[in-house]
Amino acid sequence: MDKNQIMGGLLGVLIGDALGLPVQFAPREERKKKPVAGMEGWGAFNMPPGSFSDDGSLTLCLAESICEAGLNAEDAAGRFLRWYNEGYWTPTGFAYDIGGSTSRAMERLRRGVPAIDAGPKGENDNGNGSLMRIMPAALYLAGSGPETMADGIWTISRITHGHPRTCSACYIYALLAKELLTGVSPIEAYQNLCSLPEEVLQAGIAGTEKKHFARILDGQLQQVSEREIRSSGYVVHTLEAAIWCLINNNDFTSTLLAAVNLGEDTDTVAAVTGGLAGISYGFEAIPAGWLEVLIRRDEILSLATGFADKLTQVRDIEAGDKVTEAPGESSKKRGGSR
Ligand SMILES: [Mg+2]
């Protein structure tokens, strides 16, 4: 894990969000006729080029929370609520593109519901609204064992999305991020994910939900044809689409444009894809012209640099002092089973 990968992971989410936002919910056929080739702006929300939406804002809120408070659901939820109430970490001072489950979670937080219980848990709450903002937690927990990683990822997902399917999807995403951080190619990282011991998968994938991820975990996703890949806001579709784009492309630019040009939930599919591609190819692979137009770029880069410094310092201390407790490690074991 190096700073270039960590910053790539964070900025990849922001860049993907901004690339996809103008064409959100337009069908794939439209993208076939008129593919997105760069930062366009305007469109769906009539926002200027370089605008990011809920995906980017909540990712920045979580990264900042981890910098200041470690992995702390209440602290993160407080910043999410500031986004919802005040437009904290938004491009122009107001929150927009807010998903249904997230909106209900914010209302529950306002009423004092604890962060870990705020996210709705219904079958219809399996949208991609926690997957799109989980990357900072995935990066923070990458050095941890499966139990600690699962506990942390589930806790952070549950602030807005509490269904075990969505929490399991976030865990699979974090496992893939961890594999990518070793520096292997996307396809090797994917194959390593699919070869993980059963106990590693079981730590964070609910037994009742595993069947929904069979097509991802069977190791054959690269061969699935594009027409069989959906890119809707359903968390399983988004995760499949992101991994499919990652392993069927060979550089940051083509991976993100492939995600946007699948159509449908373009900002989030590209944001989720962008996080993975950012780790794979590094911050330095992000086209300068895309980064240049990102709104609040300097503040975002400052936060991302601080986040990367924090994560690499923790690793350095661990390596030097032989500290065995991983970031986010708690002596308190998670109760119950998944
Ligand atoms: Mg969005």
The CATH architecture that domain 3-321 belongs to is Orthogonal Bundle (1.10)
Centroid of ligand 1 to alpha carbon of 334 (angstroms): 32
> Residue 318: what pLDDT?
58
Task: Give yes or no for residue 147 having a pLDDT over 50.
Answer: yes
Q: From 232, 231, 281, select the one nearest 252 (Cα to Cα).
A: 281
Centroid of ligand 1 to alpha carbon of 329 (angstroms): 31
Q: Sketch the domain layout of the chain as residue ranges.
A: 3-321
Range 311-337 average pLDDT: 52
Q: Write the pLDDT tens digit of every residue in 37-55.
A: 999 999 999 999 999 999 9
Tell me the C-alpha distance between 188 and 186, whole Å.
5
Centroid of ligand 1 to alpha carbon of 338 (angstroms): 29
Centroid of ligand 1 to alpha carbon of 16 (angstroms): 10
CB of 52 closer than 8 Å to CB of 84: no
> Residue 1: what pLDDT?
84
| CA angle (154, 155, 156) in 5-degree steps | 95
CB of 118 closer than 8 Å to CB of 159: yes
Centroid of ligand 1 to alpha carbon of 21 (angstroms): 7
Q: Write the pLDDT tens digit of every residue in 301-317.
A: 999 999 999 999 866 66
Q: Write the pLDDT tens digit of every residue in 119-146.
A: 999 999 999 999 999 999 999 999 999 9
Centroid of ligand 1 to alpha carbon of 179 (angstroms): 26
In the chain, the N- to C-terminal Cα span, in Å, equals 29
Task: Give yes or no for residue 325 having a pLDDT over 70.
Answer: no
Higher per-residue pLDDT: 297 or 331:
297
Tell me the C-alpha distance between 261 and 20, whole Å.
8
Q: What are phi and psi of 130, to 5 degrees?
A: -100, -30
Centroid of ligand 1 to alpha carbon of 166 (angstroms): 17
| Helices then strands, each counted (H, E), the chain | 16, 0
Q: Alpha-carbon dihedral of residues 151, 132, 98, 156, nearest 10 degrees?
A: 10
Q: What residue has token string 């996080």?
A: 275
| CA angle (219, 126, 13) in 5-degree steps | 70
Centroid of ligand 1 to alpha carbon of 132 (angstroms): 8
How large a percentage of the chain has pLDDT more than 70?
93
Quickly count: other Cβ atoms within 10 Å of residue 189's Cβ: 25
Centroid of ligand 1 to alpha carbon of 207 (angstroms): 30
The three-class DSSP label of residue 127 is: strand
Task: Give yes or no for residue 220 having a pLDDT over 90.
Answer: yes
Residue type, 127: G
Per-residue DSSP letter, 47: B
Tell me the C-alpha distance between 75 and 247, whole Å.
35
Centroid of ligand 1 to alpha carbon of 155 (angstroms): 21
